[in-house]
Homo-oligomer: A and B are copies of this chain.
Amino acid sequence: MLTLYGCLRSRASRNAWLLHEAGLDFRHVPVIQAYRLADPEAPDAPLHTRSPDFLAVNPNGHIPSLVDDGLVLHESLAINLYLARRHGGALGPADAAEDGLMGMWSLWAATEVEPHSIEILYNRVGKPPAERDAAKAEAAVAALRNPVAVLDRALAESSFLVGGRFTVADINVAEVMRYALPAPELFTDAPRVKAWMEACHARPAFRRMMADREREPA
């Protein structure tokens, strides 16, 4: 029995997408970020990241978490690597070399891309207009130029990142790079990244996740 904790307007989107790709049944507990609630202490507040019931699952107080038959895992990208390896068939590695490359791309997304892509998201669309910092978004765009070029070159060799087929590496990198889409100027010189993102987002499993996400409270 698989249980995914975390609303889909969070990094849990990555896990829901992969679970749909793998055709896995799961229970979804839509824990919300505490900072999004006006009064997290209110008796009718929904389950959130500072609720004692959720902190008992993940003491980090962050979403998502996954429980698989008693095994508790946090960190969205690690959860996807685990799910792909254990339950994901061809989404996971065929051998140790592929496993290494899937881990590399996932850590690359976390360290080379996400600190910048999240600033683009926050400062171009996420925050209320008065709180956005245009200079921070610009700095993030500048910092992402080389990572986007690296990704574009990798996609020149194959339409997918590892093993010549769609895998967890594509999901993990595409989900982190999605936060940079409010900076379209990043992708004009990276036609392969653009085409790859569009192909990722045309997949039925991604569209199903996004449709579920749209139905969640804003």
What B residues does A110 contact at CB under 8 A? 107, 110-111
- Which label, helix, strand, loop or mixed, suits the secondary structure of the A interface? helix
Q: Does A178 contact B (CB under 8 A)?
A: no
A147/B60 contact (C-beta < 8 A), A86-B96, A96-B85, A103-B103 known: yes
Contact yes or no, B115 A101, CB < 8 A: no
By the criterion of a CB under 8 Å from any partner CB, how many residues of chain A are at the interface? 35
What B residues does A182 contact at CB under 8 A? none
- In A67-106, the 8 Å CB interface with B consists of 71, 73-75, 77-79, 81-82, 85-86, 96-97, 99-101, 103-104, 106
Contact yes or no, A60 B112, CB < 8 A: yes
CB closest residue in chain B, given A83: B100
Contact yes or no, B82 A96, CB < 8 A: yes
Contact yes or no, B107 A106, CB < 8 A: yes
How far is A107 from B85 in the complex, measured between Cα atoms in Å?
16
- In A118-152, the 8 Å CB interface with B consists of 146-147, 149-150
Q: Does A59 contact B (CB under 8 A)?
A: yes
How far is A59 from B153 in the complex, measured between Cα atoms in Å?
9
Contact yes or no, A100 B86, CB < 8 A: yes
Minimum Cβ distance to chain B for residue A87 (Å):
9
Pick from B71, B97, B99: contact of A97, CB below 8 A: B71
